A and B are shown apart, each in its own frame.
Chain A
Amino acid sequence: MRWLGAFLVLSGAAFLLGDYHNDVYRKMLLWVTLALGYNFLFGICGQVSFSHFAFYGIGAYSVVILLFQLHVPLPLAILLGVAVCIVVALAVAIPATRLEGFYLALATLALAQLFVVLLNEGGDITGGTGGIANYRLPAMLGLQIRGPWYTGVIVFLLLLTLWVLVKLDRSWFGRACRAVRDNPEAAAAMGIDVARTRVAAFTLTSALAGVAGMVYAFVDNTVNPPIFGLENAFLLLFMVIVGGSGRHAGAVIGAVLLFLLPFWLSPLVGHHHVLVFGVLMLAAILLQPKGLIGLWDQCRHRFSR
């Protein structure tokens, strides 16, 4: 019931916005979706990965290539796209998570770089540096979803992602993830297969990022290499840390704030908003490691006395 209410409110809002604001709004929703998944991986399972955004790109490119280069029907293209994400995630996670955390960071950094190189060098398949553009979401059951209606699809994706993550977080699997994050040796002594837990969390969140990427592919109806560069992988990390890692609400706050901040800051400081991000990030790490959500908890605590 609450989920339905959230769906109606969040997608209804799209109909009140003009074209431009609707575009900003749905990109923000996509960032929130990504940050939620990344928060599970980084904040709850403690894995420092830089490939989350690359999986967003893998999902987006997969579905576009499958649909428009290979002419696969839409439902199959979605399934195959998810499969591609899962296979790539397993290929990275299985060797990397058996080593110390540092190697996962390196392996995922390498993957993110390699992905952009492959996109640029992919010739006709990826469209090279220019990417692929000017395609349209195929009609489903004779319906062409567009404009604010497509925002509804994004809201559905966001809520589905949140629902899956909240369910997992509250289950023994989520507890195992937190245990692995806090103390892998003690977790193993309690019967938790540490490597498997890490691989499962990595693969699952990577697949969720891939699905978000597929939905993104039809927001601008263009995919190109610069979108999926490393810069955004770091932005995702900033969002989770500034918002408060390990908390779903923190991921939402961090994503909304850091996504909207440049819009407010650009008129004031131009492109120096990156600097402001850096300062915010430092402030979060030094002054409030629990992020904005931690700050909010403290305030509530103080006033409830």
Chain B
Amino acid sequence: MQASILEVRGLSKRFGGLTAVSELAFEVREGEILGMIGPNGAGKSTTFNLIAGTYPASSGEIVFKEASILGLAPHQIARRGILRTFQHNRPFEGMPVIDNVLVGAHRLFTKNSHAEEAVRRSRAEELIEFVGLGGLAAADVGTLSFGQGRLLEIARALAGEPRLILFDEPAAGLAPAELDRLAEIIRGIAARGIAVLLIEHDMHFLLPLAHRVVVLNFGAKIADGLPDEIRRDPAVMDAYLGSHAAHS
């Protein structure tokens, strides 16, 4: 078994009277794709925001590469090697695609040399190619389609050479053909040795892709295990009852 890169223990988040995440515990192992599913409002994005430092946790522990990252600011967490995409595209609108990707590499810049800039730039171009935006490096981000914007989010996060990447519903709003391509990209990322924590709504997309799955409902973990186990888990089917996933 691979060593774990991220460990979450007893993590809770309350917004006023609402407990969005409650006593959550899970781990992400080196090089794996850990899926996280759950119905609307289950607390998936909140969990991400706690890991990324956007929200302070009410209680609990988050350990990344054997060091606690609880209480660190988002930029400090990013600098340690956790990069994320957003559920809703957040491009830097005043910049072309390539510069958006280069911002993702911000944490890697050590000096202010032309040589370094050139290296990063060619790496960024490779990544743009890798996610399937080839030929659009110089394009204005305003001209991208929604789906291309999703891919840009991924390229930008990859540019920082993360050890752990957090994807918040990357498949949301994509056409079926784009979904296959996305699954391929995510597998490719894991194959590079980057651990992936993948939030998804849609079990059809997630289950074939994830190595292990954590299921949330009302902020709490109701199941975790291999995709096949999750498929057969009655508690999971209950939580999804009436939704499309129940038919699988």
Contact = CB atoms under 8 A, between A and B. Distances in A.
Interface of A: 171-173, 175-176, 178-179, 181-183, 185-194, 246
Given A171-B112, A179-B95, 5 more contacts: A175-B95, A185-B74, A185-B90, A191-B75, A193-B73
Given A172-B106, A176-B106, A185-B54, A190 B95 contact: no
A179 B103 contact: yes
B43 to A, nearest CB: 19
A186 B92 contact: yes
Given A179-B103, A191-B106, A246-B94, A186 B86 contact: yes
Interface of B: 52, 54, 73-75, 78-79, 83-84, 86, 90-95, 99, 102-104, 106-107, 109, 112, 117, 156-157, 160
A173 to B, nearest CB: 8
A179 B93 CA distance: 9
Contacts of A188: 73-75, 78
A190 B160 contact: yes
Contacts of B117: 171-172
Contacts of A175: 95, 99, 102-103, 106
Q: DSSP majority for the A interface?
A: helix
A178 B112 contact: no
A175 B124 CA distance: 14
Given A171-B112, A178-B92, A179-B92, A189 B99 contact: no
A179 B102 CA distance: 10
30 contacts: A171-B117, A172-B102, A172-B117, A175-B95, A175-B102, A175-B106, A178-B99, A178-B103, A179-B95, A179-B103, A183-B91, A185-B74, A186-B86, A186-B90, A186-B91, A187-B92, A188-B73, A188-B74, A188-B78, A189-B83, A189-B84, A189-B86, A190-B83, A190-B103, A190-B156, A190-B157, A191-B78, A192-B75, A192-B103, A193-B73
Given A185-B54, A189-B74, A178 B95 contact: yes
Top 9 closest pairs, chain A to chain B, by CB: A191-B107, A191-B78, A182-B92, A186-B90, A188-B74, A172-B109, A179-B103, A191-B79, A188-B75
Contacts of B91: 182-183, 186
A40 B156 CA distance: 24
Contacts of B109: 172
Contact of B160 (A179, A187, A191): A191
Contact of A190 (B54, B93, B94, B104): B104
Contacts of B79: 191
Contacts of A181: 94
B168 to A, nearest CB: 11
Contacts of B112: 171-173
B106 A183 contact: no
B94 A189 contact: no
A2 B52 CA distance: 46
Q: Which of A176, A186, A187 has the most CB of B within 10 A?
A: A186
A181 B90 CA distance: 12
Contact of A176 (B84, B94, B103, B156): B103
Nearest to B103: A179
Contact of A178 (B54, B84, B94, B104): B94
Contacts of A179: 92, 95, 103, 106
Given A175-B103, A188-B78, A183 B90 contact: yes
* Interface-central residue, A181, A187, A191, by most chain B CB under 10 Å: A191
Contacts of B92: 178-179, 182-183, 186-187
Nearest to B89: A186
B90 to A, nearest CB: 4
A194 B103 CA distance: 13
Q: Which of B84, B112, B160 has the most CB of A within 10 A?
A: B112
Contacts of A178: 92, 94-95, 99, 103
A189 B156 CA distance: 10
Contacts of B52: 189
A18 to B, nearest CB: 43
A266 to B, nearest CB: 36
A191 B54 CA distance: 12
Most buried by A among B106, B107, B117: B106
A181 B94 CA distance: 9
Contacts of B160: 190-191
A175 B106 CA distance: 9
Given A175-B102, A181-B94, A190 B107 contact: yes
A126 B103 CA distance: 46
A191 B108 CA distance: 9
A179 B107 CA distance: 13
B103 A187 contact: yes
A193 B104 CA distance: 13
A193 B94 contact: no
B135 to A, nearest CB: 20
Nearest to B120: A172
B124 to A, nearest CB: 11
